[in-house]
Structure 1
Amino acid sequence: MTRLTNHLIIISFDCLSALDYPILKDLPHFQTILKNGTYVEKVETIYPSVTYPCHATIVTGNYPNRHGVINNTLLQPGNPSPDWNWYRDCIHGTTLYDEAKLANLTTAALLWPVTGKANIDYNMPEIFANRPWQNQILVSLMNGTPSFQLELNKCFGHIRKGLKQPELDDFVLESTVHTIKTKKPNLVMVHFTDLDTQRHEHGFSSTEAIAAIHRHNLRLGRILEAIYEAGIYENSTVVALGDHSALDENKAVNLNVLLHKKNFITTNAKGKVINWLAYCKSCDGSAYIYINDKQDSATIKEVKQLVDSLLDDPDSGIEQVLTGDQAAAKGADGSCAFMLEASHGYYFLEDIEGEYIKTISREDAAADKKYTLACHGYSPEKEDYGTILMAVGKGINQTTLPSIRLIDEGPTFARLLGVSLGNTDGRVVEEMLTI
């Protein structure tokens, strides 16, 4: 298969929305891509539309129930900080970076989700210390490329303030620029989360979110400049994309509070979960309900009656209830008993004690990251919920496309590099390529 580009740089601006286009079109570095390459007006995301499943979809071309990353975090009932799908082994099947390596191409990933312990030449995975005894730098080193990360931390570690934004993205930017100029990889995948953070904490159209978009414009400019300085611009392709959009909300649904009251969840005197028959696992704007024993027909029936009664209540925060089979048909985890979609203005948490509906204040969002003022995870069928893609450079047509799907991105990126992801849910978007 003919390779269309020698260097593919994929920049993921987490939570970049199709609704951001009126801002992007007036920013100079985004203008460079929009005026000279392909612009996709709306990219249909996946279900649930949360970061880790989305990024696994981008590199596989498959829906979550096929690539295996069906949520950000693992099902660990009662754990206030469950572990995430950090590791490459969480993904079933091949990936864009695996196929690039098989083709003897060099690869780099900077805070790209689900790349812990991946076979990537220059890898700084997105993984954080999730236990009190863990050290952030050591956790990263152990799960990526140690020498590469030590080099980056030595040069740019002073920029970072833990996981705080915008300093984290500033560190990632300098690391990306350095990697492009010194390593010149054939595939670079970089993930920026500044905008996502600001939208969670302050709201979709907040001043803070708009400021993050402007910072992303400057970051994009620095990356374009680095490609020029590396002497590879004429043989490079740059893709800027979002993984999902977001919707404003200020009410959290805690279905586990009801499940606890009805003894589907049992806790000890300290409030720790010691047994569960049914559990609501949050995906932010949606949620899975799992039954511990899938043969427990009595529990399934009782939980179904409960969620149906809530669906009839306009103030329950629940807009739709899907069966496991219906969830699977949308690409989500078919092993759940039910999948819930939140109403506008609501999202799901996993609290077991307290209120069924908690109203979130700005003070709540500032004090605790689990409380947000805008989030994602909703169905891609929600109105005004598309994300965006733009690409420029070698192998890219100058065109505007009305829509593609997130599952189409991976096969298209593979075609640019002259490799294949095999039989995928998505297709190669030939309209954007100079095939």
Structure 2
Amino acid sequence: MERLTNHLIVISFDCLSSLDFTLLETLPNFQKLLRNSSYCKNVQTIYPSVTYPCHATIVTGKLPKNHGIINNTLLQPGKVSPDWYWYRKDIQGTTLYDEAKQKGMSTAALLWPVTAKAKIDYNMPEIFANRRWHHQIPVSLVNGSSLYQLEMNKKFGHIRKGLSQPELDDFVLEAAVDTILMKKPNLMLIHFTDLDTKRHETGFSSKEAIAALKRHDQRLGRIMDALQSAGIFHQSTIIALGDHSALDESKVVKPNVLFRDHGLLQVGKNNQVTNWQAYCKSCDGSAYIYIKDQDQRTLTLVRELLDRSEIEAIWSSKEASQFGADPNCSLMIEAAIGYYFHESFEGVFIDEVTETDVASKKYTKACHGYSPEKSDYNTLFIASGNGIRTGQALTSIRLIDEGPTLARLLGLDLGAVDGRVLEELLIM
């Protein structure tokens, strides 16, 4: 299969929305990218529309039920900080970076989700210390490219302030620029989370979110300049994309409180879950309901308990699977506008989001995870450079179409996928 580009740079701006396009058109570096690009302002995300399933979809072209990353975090009832789907082994089947590596291409990934222990040449995986006895640096080193990460931390570690933004993305940017200049990888995956963090903390249209978008414009400009300085700009393809949008919310729905009150979830002295018959596993705007042994009496009771106006839809396991979500759930629920789900089994069923709650990181002001069918909830895809037609504005595409298209640019094949190659964007 003919290869259309020598260097593919995929930049994920987490939580980039179709609604941001009007602003992006006014920003100098996005303007420059758009001038010689093709794009789609209406990219339908997946269900549930949370970061880890979305990023696994981008590199596989598959729905969550088929690549196996069905949520951000694992089902660990009652755990305050559940483990995430950090590891490459959690993805079923091949990925874009696996296929590139197999063809002898050099690969790099900076904080790209679900890449811990992946066979990537220059890998700085998104993983954090989730045990009291763990320390962040060794956790990162052992799960990625040790020497590469040590080098990046030696050069740029002073920029970081833990996981706080915008410092984390500023660190990732400097590492990305250095990697382009020194390594010139054939495939580079970069994940920026500044915008997502600010929208969670301050709301979708807040001044802080707007400021994050402007910082992203500067980051995009630095990456384009680095490609020029490295002498590979005209051999490269730049893909700027989002994974999902976000919606403002002001109230929290906690189904596990209902389950606790009706004896379907038991809590011990240390506020630990000791047993459960039904459990709500949050995806923020949506949630999975798991029922032990798929007990039909419990299922009927749970449906009755959840039949409330705050919950927009209750899907069966079969319906959830048809949407591409976890086929092993018992039910899947969708929050009404202004609401989102939380796994807590403490307090009341419906809780107000206060400024104090947000400041303490107990709750958020905006989130995602909602159905792709929600209004004003699409994301973006912009492609420019080698192998890309210019001036094509696609009416709509799906997140599952991106993986096969990225693979085609590198002359690769992801095998059986749920999406399609966007041939109308490509010069072949």
In 2, the alpha carbon distance for the partners of 1:155 and 1:165 equals 19
Partner in structure 1 of residue 202 of structure 2: 202
Give the letter for the 1:306 counterpart.
Answer: L
Is 1:299 the counterpart of 2:298? The answer is yes
Q: CA deviation at 1:271?
A: 1.5
After TM superposition, the structure 1 = structure 2 runs for residues 142-291 of structure 1, keeping only pairs within 5 Å, are 142-291=142-291
In 2, the alpha carbon distance for the partners of 1:307 and 1:251 equals 16
In 2, the alpha carbon distance for the partners of 1:216 and 1:35 equals 17
Q: CA deviation at 1:293?
A: 1.7
Quick one: percent identity of the two aligned structures? 63
Q: Which consecutive aligned stretches of 4+ in structure 1 deviate over 6 angstroms post-superposition?
A: none
For the 8 Å contact 2:254–2:349, the answer to whether it is kept is: yes
Partner in structure 2 of residue 375 of structure 1: 367
Is 1:395 the counterpart of 2:387? The answer is yes
For the 8 Å contact 1:100–1:187, the answer to whether it is kept is: yes
For the 8 Å contact 2:83–2:130, the answer to whether it is kept is: yes
Is 1:360 the counterpart of 2:353? The answer is yes
In 2, the alpha carbon distance for the partners of 1:58 and 1:96 equals 9
Partner in structure 1 of residue 424 of structure 2: 431
In 1, the alpha carbon distance for the partners of 2:133 and 2:8 equals 38
Is 1:347 the counterpart of 2:340? The answer is yes
After TM superposition, the structure 1 = structure 2 runs for residues 79-158 of structure 1, keeping only pairs within 5 Å, are 79-158=79-158
Partner in structure 1 of residue 319 of structure 2: 326
In 2, the alpha carbon distance for the partners of 1:138 and 1:176 equals 21
Partner in structure 1 of residue 9 of structure 2: 9
In 1, the alpha carbon distance for the partners of 2:26 and 2:181 equals 28
In 2, the alpha carbon distance for the partners of 1:176 and 1:269 equals 48
Q: CA deviation at 1:251?
A: 0.6
Aligned to 1:175, the other structure's residue is in SS state helix
In 2, the alpha carbon distance for the partners of 1:304 and 1:216 equals 43
Q: CA deviation at 1:363?
A: 2.3
Partner in structure 2 of residue 413 of structure 1: 406
- The size of the alignment, in residue pairs, is 427
In 1, the alpha carbon distance for the partners of 2:4 and 2:332 equals 41
For the 8 Å contact 1:202–1:362, the answer to whether it is kept is: no
For the 8 Å contact 2:255–2:306, the answer to whether it is kept is: no
Please report the TM-score for the alignment, with normalisation by the length of structure 2: 0.99
Give the letter for the 1:374 counterpart.
Answer: A
Q: CA deviation at 1:297?
A: 2.0
- 1:202-256 CA distance string (max 9 Å, x none): 0000000000000000000000000000000110000000000000001110000
Give the letter for the 1:343 counterpart.
Answer: A
Aligned to 1:130, the other structure's residue is in SS state coil
**Counterpart pick for 2:377 among 378, 385, 388:** 385
In 2, the alpha carbon distance for the partners of 1:218 and 1:363 equals 32
After TM superposition, the structure 1 = structure 2 runs for residues 64-83 of structure 1, keeping only pairs within 5 Å, are 64-83=64-83
Give the letter for the 1:396 counterpart.
Answer: I
Give the letter for the 2:237 counterpart.
Answer: T
Q: CA deviation at 1:33?
A: 1.5
In 1, the alpha carbon distance for the partners of 2:21 and 2:406 equals 22
In 1, the alpha carbon distance for the partners of 2:271 and 2:386 equals 57
For the 8 Å contact 1:282–1:350, the answer to whether it is kept is: yes
Partner in structure 1 of residue 61 of structure 2: 61
Partner in structure 2 of residue 42 of structure 1: 42
- 1:36-95 CA distance string (max 9 Å, x none): 111111100000000000000000000000000000000000001100000001100000
For the 8 Å contact 1:44–1:406, the answer to whether it is kept is: yes
Gapped regions of structure 1 (runs ≥ 5):
none
Deviates further, 44-53 or 265-274: 265-274
Q: CA deviation at 1:427?
A: 0.2
For the 8 Å contact 1:61–1:409, the answer to whether it is kept is: yes
In 1, the alpha carbon distance for the partners of 2:50 and 2:342 equals 14
In 2, the alpha carbon distance for the partners of 1:84 and 1:271 equals 22
Q: CA deviation at 1:334?
A: 1.3
Please report the TM-score for the alignment, with normalisation by the length of structure 1: 0.97
In 1, the alpha carbon distance for the partners of 2:12 and 2:323 equals 24
